[in-house]
């Protein structure tokens, strides 16, 4: 069981989203593991976790709880317009999250409220933008990357290509919605999970439900994952 307060756990459970609590706790534990395994560098920089796909902040609170306790920082990357399954006519669409001025989904306000109410505004840095666009500018080694963005093949491939290279050796790569049986869910997260393993740079570290956590065993930050 990760070290998360009852208050933060309640905030995480109450936040809108689709991450089961056991997987959220496993994500929290993964960041604790990544920080514990970290070799401090000479600059004394804080550990960093990057979350791809925040929605309304449920998973961010789980990560933030571990970050606040360990001195890490969480950077979230999301355009806050929702993934494919959040759009009108799809199963996970929530009309309450549609901006009446634009007619488009906009989860940013709810996300900010979730983080503020959890008291994590000093721990979480939110970047509003498309994952590939932000990844093209990123040059910082990361202790944990959590991929839970778009679930098309194109989006999942771009998230792995853009962010997995920045996981430091010994750091962790977490991927959500990995279903080995195609009857249980979509294939793109499973495909990038298999691609990361096939690269020889990552090995399995832990699994809870559909959450898979890999540890980087080879390659320096910035090395492409092929």
Mean pLDDT of 96-105: 73
Q: Which of 36-40, 58-62, 190-194 is predicted with the least confidence, judged by mean pLDDT? A: 36-40
Range of the domain at 18: 6-216
Is residue 79 within 8 Å of 86, Cβ to Cβ? no
95 domain-assigned: yes
223 domain-assigned: no
Instruction: Kindly report, residue by residue over 184-220, the tens digit of the pLDDT.
Output: 888 999 999 999 999 999 999 999 999 999 999 998 8
pLDDT at 121 over 90: yes
Q: What is the pLDDT of residue 31?
A: 98
Please state, rounded to an integer, the average pLDDT across all residues of the chain.
91
DSSP 1: -
120 domain-assigned: yes
pTM: 0.93
127 domain-assigned: yes
226 domain-assigned: no
pLDDT at 153 over 60: yes
Look up 101 and say whether it is catalytic.
Answer: no
Q: What is the pLDDT of residue 204?
A: 97
| Contact residues for 172 (Cβ-Cβ < 8 A; gap 6+) | 30, 31, 33, 34, 143, 144, 145, 205, 213, 214, 215, 216
At 121, which CATH number?
3.40.50.150
176 domain-assigned: yes
Residue in the block written with tokens 């963005």: 149
Mean pLDDT of 28-44: 86
Percent of the chain, pLDDT > 70?
91
DSSP 85: G
Q: How many domains does the chain have?
A: 1
89 domain-assigned: yes
181 domain-assigned: yes
Q: What is the pLDDT of residue 6?
A: 93
Q: Which of 11, 79, 151, 176 is catalytic?
A: 151
Q: Which of 19-28, 39-48, 68-77, 155-164 is predicted with the least confidence, judged by mean pLDDT? A: 39-48
Q: What is the pLDDT of residue 85?
A: 67
């Amino acid at each position: 069981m990760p070290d998360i307060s009852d208050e933060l756990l309640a905030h995480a459970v109450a936040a809108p989203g689709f991450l089961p609590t056991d997987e959220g706790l496993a994500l929290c534990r993964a960041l604790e593991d990544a920080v514990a395994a970290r070799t401090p560098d000479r600059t004394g920089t804080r550990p960093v976790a990057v979350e791809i796909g925040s929605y309304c902040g449920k998973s961010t609170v789980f990560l933030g709880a571990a970050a606040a306790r360990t001195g890490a920082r969480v950077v979230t990357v999301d355009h806050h317009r929702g993934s494919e399954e959040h759009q009108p006519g799809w199963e996970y669409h929530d009309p309450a999250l549609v901006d009446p001025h634009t007619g488009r989904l906009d989860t940013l306000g709810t996300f900010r409220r979730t983080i503020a109410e959890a008291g994590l505004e000093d721990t979480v840095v939110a970047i509003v933008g498309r994952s590939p666009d932000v990844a093209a500018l990123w040059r910082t080694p990361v202790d944990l990357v959590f991929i839970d963005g778009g679930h098309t093949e194109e989006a999942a491939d771009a998230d792995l290509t853009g962010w997995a290279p920045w996981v430091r050796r010994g750091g962790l790569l977490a991927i959500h919605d990995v279903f080995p049986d195609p009857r249980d869910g979509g294939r793109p997260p499973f495909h990038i999970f298999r691609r990361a393993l096939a690269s020889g740079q990552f090995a399995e570290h832990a699994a809870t439900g559909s959450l898979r956590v890999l540890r980087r065993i080879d390659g320096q930050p910035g090395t492409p994952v092929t």
